[in-house]
Chain A
Amino acid sequence: MPDKPNAKGLWLRLIRLIGVIVPSRLRSGWRQEWEAELRYREQQLADWHKLNSKTKLDLVVHSLGAFRDALWMQTYRLEDDMFQDMRYGWRMLLKRPSFTLLAVFILALGIGGSTSIFSAVNPVLFKSLPYPHPERIVSIWDLAPNGSHLDGTFGTYSELLERNRTLESIAVLKRWQPTMTGNFDPELLEGQMVTASYFQVLGQSPVLGRNFDPSENRVNAERVVILSNKLWRRHFNGDPTIIGRQILLDESNYTVVGVMSPMFENVISQQGEVWAPIQYDMSQPRSWGHHLQIVARLLPGVSEKQARNDLSLIAESPIPEFARPPWAALKQGLIVNSLQDDITSSVKPALLAVLGAVLLVLIIACVNVTNLLLARGAQRRGEFAVRSALGAGRSRLIRQMLAESSLLAVVGGALGMAFAELGVAALVALSPPGLPRLDAIRVDGSVLAFGLIVTAFIGLAIGVVPAVYASGRDVQSELRHSSRRTSGGHLLTRRTLVVAEVALALVLLVSAGLLMRSLQRLFAINPGFDSSNMLTMQVQTSAARVDTDVINRFFAEALQAVREVPGVSGAAFTTQLPLSGDYNEYGVRFESESATDSDVGYPAFRYSVSPGYFETMGIPLRRGRLLDAHDRGDAPLAAVISESFARQLDVDPIGKRIHVGPTDRPWYTIVGVVGDVKQMSLAASQTDAVYVTPDQWPFADNARSLVVRSDPDAAALVAGVRKAVWSVDKDKPIGRVAMMSDLLSASAAERRFAMILFEAFGLVALVLAAAGIYGVLSGSVAERTNEIGVRLALGAQSLDILGLILRQGAALTLSGVGIGLLGSWAVTRLLAKLLYSISATDPVTFVGIALLLTLVALIACYIPAQRAARVDPLTALRVD
């Protein structure tokens, strides 16, 4: 007797389950066919006494194959209700092209806007860095006494390298801008000097050639270089024989040992195209300078916290083998941050704010289209009544409405994607210079997926309310009445939606207003110098030359040549240009202080400036004298300090002596005090500064900025000034040409970026809210024509009717404004980081924007109100 097959085998249950996705009209046949086959087979196996675990597994595998079959069955859906609904919906949408176009356009704005913002935000906020195990990459900073991040020193790096127990690899890097020369125009490259471990930390290796060898980090080792794929293609036409060839950088020969992959993204310095081994050892004084960035990769399984503890322990317990100078004694400890946070933290607030803003716009757009659909639903009541009288069930009507809203969303989404492509291009063009991972901003798979999800969500969101209203009515009464009667619940919903729209728009507009006022205040700040009609550019000498006198002589001669250019009324060189991103700080110690309590000294910006700098920049002299041509190398060392720095001393600073940096050098005597200058940004408060002449500074700075003032348009002088510099030495690269006024506005680029987007979104929100109010009131006037006719017939004046409708509109607007003010009060504090010297609940902005929105809304109310006032009672009463 054969075993009775188990009627409830897993395979049969799988078939029942999979059958759920088969189109319903084919489902029972499909299930029967599969069940019959599986049970036949099962019976057969049982008859043969072969129903064992292996054959049972076989049956399960076969039943899993049914899934593919069921998927294929989806093609039959084309004939299903859903597609009928779609076709019908499509016809209905085409019937009212103006409605459809408007709705599609509004949705496309919302979807396109949010998708393009998402594309910018995604790589920065949500995607991890494009390296293997990016969560293990950290950056390490020295902690300054004032709590700020300080670049690391080579000494600290060497100590950490030896003593750490939590890092897999650790590297230092510094910016390097070599000039590439040869039988072509000299080209200034952006690159980095790195330790050989740099690419290991990032988990990358060259696609061509090899990585650096640690031996190449030794002083006087052979000079080698790795190129970015872009540079290799641009300059060497992608020639694979480049490996082993020599190129001329800063007048020295470098052997190319590797080319990076085109996929390699150098997130630490996005423009970096060339890398060479940094050649330091502890015998050099510069090995204790705070000018290196430290990055490291944690050992697998080590958390950031463990690494932090490990490194703090090292910082707290110096050992004799690694003697530290006072200014790099790590007294305050070290900062360990994930690299991801490190490079994104500065733009995060702006991006999050912009993302929030665009989502508000998206919601407003949805509310608006929902309202349009509701209004149309009211006009189509008769049609729905007829369909339902003919036997369409409630669910069928809901599906019909959802099909229409989905169609709108899909078309809107498709157009939105086109908008997104444009939006991304605009964003990249608008983006602040500090925006990380710019190369990763594009419409890619995840961005498309975001757009799709948003579209699908919108299709449902905008359809649900109208669908429920359209389907939930009494057929009998609908058929009896004309389609012009009011229906209370439906209008109430529309009004609620409009109130929500006004409230959301107000939140956006208030945020935009706050940002705008911050920016105004920021630009009202005095940078400390006169930025008008000033041309700036950076002139470099090659880093290979270390002869201080040669370099200083070149800059002096170049300056002389520039001053002779017609139109130039003043020119000077400075090692640090305000608001350009230059950053060079030294610890300054006053002679009056005992050496023990000032290990590090006061941090102050150090400028080596040619005589005439203050006059050219328009920096005012407060006391004493300015630096002049007498402050040469053989003269007594003179320094000028800034006003804020002078306040550190209780006494008159003139004549006091200071050390700038190391204490083993001669004292500088303070000869003058000048006005404060904003160095890092307009918003930054740090203005302590020390100015010396290049001749009296122990090193020669290779890169100096030229500032040129002219009476006519300074921008026209670029060519002439360049030529003058090159007349002294034609191989000196000139870069970073900019008008000082542009640098000034660029220093607020992140705030400006957020503000422009907020303004654009605020404007869209304002228009949509006004359109929403207009739509609801027009609908209400149309539905109340009859009532208005009666009122007029009974003696009401036109003005009464006008007031009636305006009051209705004002009630909607004011409710929205009220809620919006409360919402803004709750939300704008999230913007705090982007605001400058203005409170997140600034009453002027709140009241001003509320008035603006009310005014615009009332204008939108006026048109339907006037139409109502002009109703002819006879015509109105005849309608019914």
Chain B
Amino acid sequence: MGKSYMSYTMALILHAVERGYSHGFDVMTITGLASGTVYPALRRLEDAGFLNSKWEQPGIAQALQRPARKYYEITKPGRTALTQARERFRLSQLEPLVADQPVHQKG
């Protein structure tokens, strides 16, 4: 994938990660995209250097009796690319769609 071009979907996902939806399922929930779309996109964004991925602390996972989750963070080039993409796609108009509160803090 060329770094210069980002599709709308990718921009939306990057946007979501930047807003703090850092796990794959959170991104899916907030964007409404299918899992088969979100994950490959996350991997491509990571390959392009726009995202970093990390595993959560093993202690948290152990306490909850499940494997550690992977979470994604936006990188500096990612922010630059996102700014450009926002202008191109007028992503700010979609702001209401992506709430400012990370989803897992709800409920």
Contact = CB atoms under 8 A, between A and B. Distances in A.
A72 B40 contact: yes
Contact of B36 (A36, A39, A66): A66
Contacts of B24: 33, 37
Given A33-B24, A37-B24, A40-B25, A65 B68 contact: no
A44 to B, nearest CB: 8
Contacts of B38: 65
B70 A33 contact: yes
A67 B36 contact: yes
Given A41-B25, A48-B107, A72-B40, A66 B69 contact: no
A62 B66 contact: no
Contacts of A65: 34-39
A66 B35 CA distance: 7
B69 A73 contact: no
Interface in B59-102: 61, 64, 66-70
A484 to B, nearest CB: 50
Given A69-B39, A72-B40, A40 B69 contact: yes
A39 B66 contact: yes
Given A40-B25, A66-B36, A68-B37, A35 B67 contact: yes
Interface string A25-50: 00001001101110111011000100
B19 interface: no
Given A48-B107, A62-B28, A72-B43, A40 B66 contact: yes
A36 B61 contact: yes
A64 B35 CA distance: 8
Given A43-B66, A48-B107, A73-B43, A37 B36 contact: no
A375 B67 CA distance: 52
Given A36-B61, A37-B23, A37-B24, A62 B68 contact: no
B15 to A, nearest CB: 20
Contacts of A66: 35-36, 39
A311 B101 CA distance: 79
Contacts of B64: 40, 43
A72 B37 CA distance: 10
Contact of A68 (B25, B40, B61, B70): B40
Given A37-B25, A40-B25, A62-B28, A32 B68 contact: yes
Contacts of B68: 32, 36
Nearest to A41: B25
A63 B24 CA distance: 12
Contact of A36 (B28, B40, B69): B69
A64 B38 CA distance: 13
A106 B39 CA distance: 45
Contacts of A36: 61, 66-70
A542 B40 CA distance: 71
B47 to A, nearest CB: 9
A33 B25 contact: no
A40 B24 CA distance: 11
A39 B70 CA distance: 13
A72 B45 CA distance: 13
A573 B86 CA distance: 87
A69 B36 contact: yes
Given A62-B28, A66-B35, A33 B40 contact: no
B35 A39 contact: no
A33 B43 CA distance: 12
B31 to A, nearest CB: 13
Interface in B37-62: 37-40, 43, 61
Contacts of B34: 65
A211 B23 CA distance: 63
B11 to A, nearest CB: 18
Contacts of A32: 67-68, 70
Contacts of B104: 44
A69 B35 contact: yes
**What are the 4 A-B residue pairs with the smallest beta carbon separation, nearest first?**
A65-B35, A68-B36, A65-B36, A72-B40
Given A36-B61, A40-B69, A69-B40, 18 more contacts: A32-B67, A32-B70, A35-B66, A35-B67, A36-B66, A36-B67, A36-B69, A40-B23, A40-B25, A40-B64, A41-B25, A63-B35, A65-B36, A65-B39, A66-B39, A69-B43, A72-B39, A73-B43
